[in-house]
Structure formats: C-alpha cells, structure tokens
Amino acid sequence: MNAYATTQTTTLLIIGGGPGGYIAAIRAAQLGIATTLIEGEQLGGTCLNIGCIPSKALIHAAEEFEKTVHYSYGSPLGIGVQSPSINLAQTVRWKDSIVARLTGGVAALLKRNGVKVIHGWARIIDGKSVAVMLEGTETLRVNCEHLLLASGSQAVELPGMPFGGRVISSTEALSPARLPQRLVVVGGGYIGLELGIAYRKLGAEVAVVEAQERILPAYDDDLCKVVSASLHKLGISVHLSCAVLGMNAAGDAVRIRSSAGAESELAADQLLVAVGRRPRTSGFGLEDLMLDMHGRAVKIDDQCRTSMRNVWAIGDVTGEPMLAHRAMAQGEMVAEIISGKRRHFMPAAIPAVCFTDPELVVVGQTSAEAQAAGLDCITAMFPFAANGRAMTLEAHDGFVRVVARRDNHLIVGWQAVGKAVSELSAAFGQSIELGATLEDIAGTIHAHPTLGEAVQEAAMRALGHALHI
C-alpha cells in the first residue's frame, strides 16, 4: 500500500527556498523547465528572514539613533537634539515589514513564473525522489529528473552552551524584545561585529571575545585596523586570543581564559554566539545519498554537480564562501545548464562585504595573496582623508587600495574600508571580471564629488601620478 497521500512528478526539484534556491527556480521556469521548490520555513531563507536584510535594517536603525545621541551633545553641523529615545518594538516592526515585503515579493515572482512551491519539510528518499511532510501527518512524494540541494547553513553552537535563555544566536539578536544592558559577543567575525556595533549604538554595553589574535581574522590586517579603531571609539571592549569557558555559577557573567592562561569574567545579560555557520547537511536524508563531501560541505565541481548524476548543490551547503550572491549566481547557472546551455562557475572574483562601522569590502586578491600565487604586483592606496565627498560625510577614515600585476597592469584585487564602501563593490567586481588595467580605471572620468574618485586616484597612484595626494 502506498504510504504517500499523493505522488507528483517534476523535472527539477529544489530543496530550499533561500537566495540560491528561489533564483534557480525562477530561472529554470523562465527556460521552460517544470520546477518544484520545497521550503519548510519562509521563502527567502536565512538571508531575507534572519540574515542579510534584517541585519542591515537593524544596523541602519542603530546608526540613525546613534546620530541623534551624538547630536544631543552638540555638532559642528549645527544640529541639536534633546533627549533622544528609541522605541525598540517599533524598530523591530519596521524591520519585519521590510522582510515581509521582500519575502512576499519572492513568492509573487515564483508564482508569476510558474514555479510550484510546496511548504513542508523534505526528506530525501534517493537521488530521484523526495518525501515532503505537510501539515499534520500527510506526506507527499515528489519524483524528479534533477535534484538541487540548496539547504543553506545554520549557526554553530559552542560546546556545552546550546542556544536558549541568555545564550542567543544572530536570529534572536535581530528581534530583541528589549535591549540588554550588557552584551557579550563571542566571535569577532563579520556577524558578531555587525550586531555588536548595532547593539552598542542602540545603547548596550558591548564586549567582544575573539579566539584569534585580531578581529576579522579572515581579512587583511590594514583593513581591520581601521575597524578596530572605530570599535575603541565606540566604547566596545575587545578581548583577543581568548577562549570562552561558559557562564559563571550565578549565570550573570561569561568566563573567559586568555592565551596566557589567566581567567576572568565579563558581566553579561545576554551572550551572543557568532562563531560561524556550518552547512545544513543533516536532518533531511542527505547522508543517505553518500555524496562526496568536503569536510561538512557537499563537494561540487565548477558546474555545481555533486558526485551523483543529476544531483546538484549550490550556496552555503557547499561551503565557503557562504555568500548569498554566490548562491544566486550558482542557482542561475545550474538552471541554464539543465536547460541545455553550456556554463561553468568560474567568476574572476566574488565580492565580500562587512557592514561594520566603517564598512569593509574585498574583491579579488590582496597583495599577500597575489604574492603567494607567484605574481609580482603593484599595490597603491588612496585615503578617504583626501577625498572631498568623504569629508562632507564626516567620514574621512579608511582608504581604497588596488592590487595590479607589474608586467601588464592587469588589476587582480581591490580592498576598501570606509563609510558606504559596500557600494563600490560593483565597480571593483566589474573591473576584475572585464580584465581592466590600471590605465583603464585611471582614464575613466569619475563623477565629482564622490567616494568613487578614490578608486580612480588609487589607480593613478599605482601608475605614479595621483593628483590629490
């Protein structure tokens, strides 16, 4: 007797409705491929619901509030504010409204393009069929020709300190019922720092604990120094080369141990654990496929094929870099390959952005990475202190840096730290993807006054003729 209520058939079946999954579904449907997408929670995945978008909304609200507090002490701009306050519940409702509009938009796009969306929890039967638990005990079976894994990632817990109570993940941090007086952030990477800075600007006392020797250990030290100076200015205490041992007996402080062995306590009303994310590969039968793995991540080739024929994987489930825009590009490519197009995922560079204060962006190779790859490169930096637009924004900290080959001046990398530098990432990526040289960027007229002029000036400085420094 068939244990399934009904059985459906589709050409492409996608597990996960995050950025990679829903983009793959939309593009596949545009190309005439019968497509079904399974999502157990909300469409949009981590990015739209509990990651990229809500965190940027909270960061923006915190920045605006911090401005009013700053103006309450007087300002060289002549702005004065008395007794600034923030209604945190209203802030969260505003953030949630943005999320709702975007996830609603995703649902509308999927429907408009003819994608069948099933809201339920998937369990893989084999490479050609998936069981879906719907409401109650009803189970649907979906058979497919192609199976695409886009299950994303999940926050890593600390051993012996599961999420719950005072110990929270970024998910809970993005919807605070109240502001903690004292927040300890475990993890000095981009997630921990983005949220730690936001909470500090909202008025909490914040301490950051990082196991390695500096914050943002995955990024260039020169960039991180600018962010470190900002943390100090904001009054965020940073404890480097420290391990977290757990909460104290009273449950009101975090015990830490330095690399020298000294133990101490940090008072905490809440403990935000942001030590990274891991691929979501368990709990839905993926292990039964016995795919080749790369650590905890699903191993893929440059077409996002797994070791099983017609089983594909994209995004965070395939490991680093865990970036929504990488997943989206991979999803689009897989849809086109299934439709018969010839594609390979070989981007020249993938931008990485930290929305700290100030922002940080890296595209392509740093000088050290280029040298390790055997390239002889020119490196040049242009400071925002010499940029007119930065001065008018009261944001003269930071710089733009370019890395280019010495022999032919081909640009291989860009790095920047400063206010709103995330908006320069598109220009950085395009220059590398299109094979631009220093002469190409230096010879392109950049609008004045803009932060983008620092991009042109960095290229000009690499050529030996910067005009404003």
Cα distance between residue 198 and residue 192, in whole Å: 10
Q: Which residues make beta-bridge pairs with 168?
A: 272
Closest CA to 316 of 209, 164, 156: 156
Residues 6+ apart with CB under 8 A from 156: 273, 275, 276, 277, 278
Burial class (CB in 10 A: 0-12, 13-18, 19+), 468: middle
Is the Cα dihedral 419, 425, 427, 431 positive or negative? Answer: positive
For 264, list phi and psi in degrees, rounded to 5: -155, 175
Cα distance between residue 444 and residue 460, in whole Å: 11
State how far the alpha carbon of 14 is from the alpha carbons of 37, 128, 311, 359, in Å: 5, 12, 10, 34
User: What are 321's two structure tokens?
Assistant: 């870099």
282 in helix, strand or coil? coil
346 in helix, strand or coil? coil
Q: What is the CA radius of gyration of the chain?
A: 24
- β-bridge pairing 311-313 and 139-149: parallel
Helix residue ranges per DSSP H, 253-411: 324-338, 367-372, 388-392
Q: Does 239 participate in catalysis according to the annotation?
A: no
User: What are 207's two structure tokens?
Assistant: 């301490």
Q: Which residue in 70, 146, 448, 465 is the catalytic one?
A: 448
Which residue matches tokens 């994987």?
313
Cα distance between residue 82 and residue 71, in whole Å: 8
Helix residue ranges per DSSP H, 157-268: 170-173, 190-202, 221-234
Angle at 155 between CA 217 and CA 279, to 5 degrees: 90
Cα distance between residue 151 and residue 242, in whole Å: 33
The gap between the terminal CA atoms of the chain, to the nearest Å, is: 79
Cα distance between residue 433 and residue 408, in whole Å: 16
Active-site amino acid positions: 448
